[in-house]
Amino acid sequence: DAKTTQPPSMDCAEGRAANLPCNHSTISGNEYVYWYRQIHSQGPQYIIHGLKNNETNEMASLIITEDRKSSTLILPHATLRDTAVYYCIVSGPLAYGNKLVFGAGTILRVKS
């Protein structure tokens, strides 16, 4: 079973920041928080991951609370092409036999 809880859906206005929350209250010390998205039945696309510190890349920012029990993915300037299902996943390193477990995700609808 997925170790995360996400809202089923969210709306965002085009050009505004999209803030997607995720709860992972049972996260372990060596588990990372990953975000993937899936646009219209395409293969999932990696967005970002983090362990303790906040992370930023060209696509998004990941804010992890100090107790690591929740996180927020931020798309700074959402466009219509960001409409997708966003998956928040908690998992340890693959090298130690861990796996990605996908839940239902959050459907983000970006509207003009």
- Residues interacting with another protein, by CB under 8 A? 2, 32, 34, 36, 41-46, 49-51, 87, 93-96, 99-105
To the nearest whole angstrom, how small is the minimum distance from the Cβ of residue 95 to another protein? 5
Q: What is the DSSP string of 74-94?
A: EETT--GGG-EEEEEEEE--G
Structure-block tokens of residue 76: 């700074």
**3 state SS of 73:** strand
Q: Which is nearer to another protein, 43 or 112 (CB)?
A: 43
> How far apart, in whole angstroms, are the C-alpha atoms of residue 14 and residue 4?
27
Q: Which is nearer to another protein, 15 or 45 (CB)?
A: 45
To the nearest whole angstrom, how small is the minimum distance from the Cβ of residue 4 to another protein? 11
Q: Which is nearer to another protein, 81 or 96 (CB)?
A: 96
To the nearest whole angstrom, how small is the minimum distance from the Cβ of residue 19 to another protein? 21
What residues pair up with 72 in beta bridges, in sequence order?
21, 63
